Amino acid sequence: AVRDKETLKKLKIIVNDPLLKKEERALSYESKLLFNHIHANYSIATCHIRSEYFYTKRTVELIESNPEQLNDSPNPYLQALNNFHTACARIKKFNELSVSLKKLKGLLQISSFNKTEKTRILLSRCIYNMDLILHFNLGQFKKGVELIPEIKKWLKQYENKIQKTGLWVMYFHIAYT
């Protein structure tokens, strides 16, 4: 959450721009994505978790309604799903998180999600993090703990290819489980 009043004032100026009042004013696919992304980030910054959920879900729906974008560049979709999963966890929509996590796991079978090592790593990291979050929040601690050896083996293989913040988040979820 934003603690600095000056930063919050700047964010309000951005989201109060007339072009960001309604998604209908965004005419292209890219501008609709940016509209929802900006509002999702503003919601996170101002701790409006219901709005965060709405805008992250809308971003995922928008990407899924444009499959050609999905095949050309899968990483934004993975990031959108990850943001949506985080929002689901924050407002305790665990059934929705579980359904979406199954969808995420199904992406392992799609060739566009296996083209690059970077995409495979991002996909696996998202799956492991959300699996741990879901098991913890559902009280399925044993299932979460059972995943840890597999995750540690995976981390050993890819640790030097994951950004530091991504690693910290993974280790946090392991420790939390």
What is the tens place of the pLDDT at every residue in 40-76? 989 998 889 999 999 999 999 999 998 887 777 788 8
Integer Cα distance of 135 and 133 in angstroms: 6
SS3 165: helix
Confidence category of residue 139, pLDDT binned at 50, 70, 90: very high
Helix boundaries (H) for 16-65: 29-45, 49-64
Residue whose C-alpha is closest to residue 46's, from 80, 14, 18 = 14
Q: Which residues of 13-24 are buried (b: 16+ CB within 10 A; e: fewer)?
A: eeeeeeebeeee
Distance CA 162, CA 26 (A): 34
In the chain, the DSSP E strands lie at none
- Reading the block at residue 13, the tokens are 């100026």
Q: Supply the pLDDT for residue 113.
A: 78
pLDDT tens, position by position, 81-117: 989 999 999 999 999 999 999 988 988 888 777 778 8
d(CA 126, CA 123): 5
Measured CA to CA, the distance from residue 40 to residue 79 in angstroms comes to: 13
